[in-house]
Amino acid sequence: MKIAVIAGTPVDTQMGIDYLHQRDAGLETVFLPCASDPRACHLFQVKSHEEKTATMRELYRSAIDMGIRYFFVYCNSLSSAVDFDTLSESLGVKTVTPMRAYEKLALDYNILGLLAANNQSTKGIEDRFTAVNPSGYVIGIGNLRLTEAVERMIPPAEIVRNFRLRSACDFFEASGCEAVVLACTHFPYFKEELSQFTGLPILDPADIMFEELLANINQTSCNL
């Protein structure tokens, strides 16, 4: 069964494919980046709703023509800028995005700290989180330069040091956060390094996404 992995750039698209293969080596994946680099992806996200939907619809149709019915959107900021739920329903396919993960996290946490690629992402995540948990808090940091550093493959220790991420963790702790979410799919790249500087759980939404993907596939199998 083929799964289309859509992400912001070739780098995080490949990260999404690698993640899925680590979880299940038998999955067949298709590589579908929507932009050439983080800046191009960011600029796409601030286009009109109509432009974004038209571009994504064309990308989806190219995958559907290959017989693909499952989509894995491995990009937090992209999934906060495009209405993938409505798009998927209109095309009769299944899509898993990080936004669904935040709805589930809102059931377990009241105060989340976010490290995100941009503030398009923090806004979208806060909307989803608050819809489920109106009394909760989302405390976000959006930094496109952090994403660009990962794209350049700067060593994790250097990224954590240069961007003062230890201080960011101190800020989250002082703000009462119960966990820190890697709200950009590039950021698991430095998860192990960052975990040395905080006692807070560091969460990766991809783990929730994978479980939803499996549930969708299993449901389809049961209906056959």
- What residue numbers bound the domain in which 43 lies? 2-98+207-223
Predicted structure pTM score: 0.93
114-167 pLDDT tens trace:
999 999 999 999 999 999 999 999 999 999 999 999 999 999 999 999 999 999
Burial 18-54 (b: 16+ CB within 10 A, else e): ebbeeeeeebebbebbbbebbeebbebbeeeeeebbe
Q: Are residues 47 and 17 in the same domain?
A: yes
Is pLDDT at 222 greater than 90 in this prediction?
Answer: no
Whether residues 22 and 83 share a domain: the answer is yes
**% the chain with pLDDT above 70:** 98
Total tally of structural domains belonging to the chain: 2
Q: Residue 166, SS3?
A: helix
- 141: domain CATH number is 3.40.50.1860
| 40 and 70 belong to one structural domain | yes
pLDDT at site 206: 96
Q: Are residues 168 and 215 in the same domain?
A: no
